[in-house]
Amino acid sequence: MNDESREVLRNLFRNPAPRDVVRGPGLTREDLRRMNDRTGKLVETTTPGEVVLDVDGVPIGIERDQHGKAIFGGVAIFESDARRLGWTAEEFPNVIVMPDPTKRSDSNE
C-alpha cells in the first residue's frame, strides 16, 4: 500500500457521516446469534440490481436483483463489540473475536 492509498483510507474512515444519515443500531446479540447459527450452512443470497443510466448518465431504471445460494463462512468481530454484546465462547462458538485495531505509526515496524 502506498502513501496515497493510506491517505484515502484515513480520510474515508476519519470523516463523520453527514447529519442527514441516520446510523442503524449496529450489531446486536440477535444478529450475532443468527450469524453463529448459520455458519457452515447453505444460505440464500441477494445481490441488488444495478442502476441503469441513459446516454446522459441519468438513472432510468434498475436491473432485477440476482438471487443465489452460498455457504455462510462465519463472522469475526472486534473485542470491543464482544464486550459490548456480552459475547461468550460457549454461547457463540462459531464467532471469531479479533483484537481491536490500534493506531499504527506510518513507519513499517
Burial class, 31, CB count within 10 angstroms (exposed 0-12 / middle 13-18 / buried 19+): middle
Q: What is the dihedral of CA 43, 68, 65, 53, to 10 degrees?
A: 130
Alpha helices per DSSP H over 1-109: 3-14, 29-38, 79-85
Q: Does any domain span residue 52?
A: yes
* Residue numbers of the domain that contains 66: 44-71
Residue type, 19: R
Q: Does any domain span residue 34?
A: yes
Q: Does any domain span residue 18?
A: no
Q: What is the pLDDT of residue 51?
A: 92
Q: Does any domain span residue 80?
A: yes
Q: Does any domain span residue 9?
A: no
Residues 67 and 79 in one domain: no
Q: Does any domain span residue 17?
A: no
Between the alpha carbon of residue 31 and those of residues 2, 21, 62, 66, 89, the distances in Å are 36, 22, 29, 23, 16
pLDDT tens, the chain, 109 aa long: 788 877 877 776 776 766 776 777 788 999 999 999 999 999 999 999 999 999 999 999 999 999 999 999 999 999 999 999 999 999 999 999 999 887 554 545 4
